[in-house]
Amino acid sequence: MKLIHRLEPLLWMIFGAGGYQLALLLPGLVLGVGLLGGLGFLPLEYERLHALASSAVGKPFLAGFLIGLFWHCCHHLRHLILDLGGERAAAPGAYFSYALAIVATAATVQVLVVL
Amino acid sequence: MSENASPTPVAPARPPSGFPLAHARYRNYVLFALTSVFMFVGGVGLLLGVRALGQGPEAWAQYLDALGHPAVLALSLAVFGFSVYFTLRWMWIGRKIMVGRVGPVPGPPIPMAGLGLGGIALCFATGIGVLLLLGGVL
């Protein structure tokens, strides 16, 4: 926990930056891909989206957005666990949350390297 | 501080009475924290989409088929609802951070409500832009 406490300023900074990214982009992306794309109302063409996502701008953008999203959510989850579970849940909640963030970050990097 | 100084004694942290469901303010706070779970799921869904893009047109078509499944649509609807709630609350809280008022600094040139509503309008406009980009209009 000492290391986590030492990293608190960095974690809160990522939480804040990730929060603004999410507020700006996530509703539109979920509406466009998850709902309108899933229902077939929005033409999500492979060639165009692949070119967009794998471009010199698209890859770093996706990396920043997804990694920011995961760390923001995991930091918030840590505090939800702390709020609901009390002091006893502090250390396990922190380890679980940040382990989840590290796994999600590694998965994101792997996916983007292959893209 | 000297190395031998004893740490300041503090009372153990304890939750407020009736937390987390007794008052609307508590429920709102917990609901806001709960958005993280749904938004994380949404992030995993988007990551799976990016992975499908990397695997080729067939994988992408399978991904789109999976998105059309009723259970996945219901989950997407829940993620969308939580992300909209997050956006509204984040920007409403964020207006206080954007002003960054500490000490005897003059007040903001526009009312605080304007900052909050402006942030929400910016998110709405960005959402429209994302839809236009995904749809191939931009």
Alpha-carbon distances of A68 from A27, A62, B84, rounded to whole Å: 15, 10, 18
A11 touches chain B (CB under 8 A): no
d(CA A35, CA A22): 17
In this prediction, the answer to ipTM > 0.85 reads yes
Sign of dihedral through CA atoms B121, B123, B124, B129? Answer: positive
End-to-end CA gap in chain A? 36
A13 touches chain B (CB under 8 A): no
The one-character DSSP state at A55 is S
Structurally, at CATH architecture level, domain A2-114 sits in Up-down Bundle (1.20)
Structurally, at CATH architecture level, domain B24-99+111-134 sits in Up-down Bundle (1.20)
Residues 51-80 of A with CB under 8 A from B: 52-54, 62, 66, 69-70, 72-74, 76-77, 79-80
The pLDDT score that the predictor gives to residue B5 is 67
pLDDT digits (tens, 9 = 90+) for B21-61: 999 999 999 999 999 999 999 999 999 999 999 999 999 99
pLDDT digits (tens, 9 = 90+) for A44-89: 999 999 999 999 999 999 999 999 999 999 999 999 999 999 889 9
How far is B23 from chain A, CA to nearest CA, in Å? 15
Comparison of pLDDT for B6 and A79, the residue scoring more: A79
- pLDDT band for B16, please (50, 70, 90 cuts): confident
How far is A1 from chain B, CA to nearest CA, in Å? 17
The pLDDT score that the predictor gives to residue B1 is 47
Say if residues A30 and B42 touch (Cβ distance below 8 Å). Answer: yes
Please indicate whether, in this complex, the C-beta atoms of A66 and B47 are within 8 angstroms of each other: yes
How far is B112 from chain A, CA to nearest CA, in Å? 18
Residues of B in contact with A52 (CB under 8 A): 133
Please indicate whether, in this complex, the C-beta atoms of A115 and B53 are within 8 angstroms of each other: yes
Residues of A in contact with B132 (CB under 8 A): none
Residues of B in contact with A33 (CB under 8 A): 45-46, 49, 67, 134
Backbone phi, psi, residue B23, to 5° = -125, 150
pLDDT digits (tens, 9 = 90+) for B55-100: 999 999 999 999 999 999 999 999 999 999 999 999 998 887 776 6
Alpha-carbon distances of A7 from A72, A102, B77, B93, rounded to whole Å: 14, 14, 35, 24
The pLDDT score that the predictor gives to residue B34 is 96
Q: Where are the domains of chain B?
A: 24-99+111-134
d(CA B98, CA B115): 8
Please indicate whether, in this complex, the C-beta atoms of B40 and A26 are within 8 angstroms of each other: no
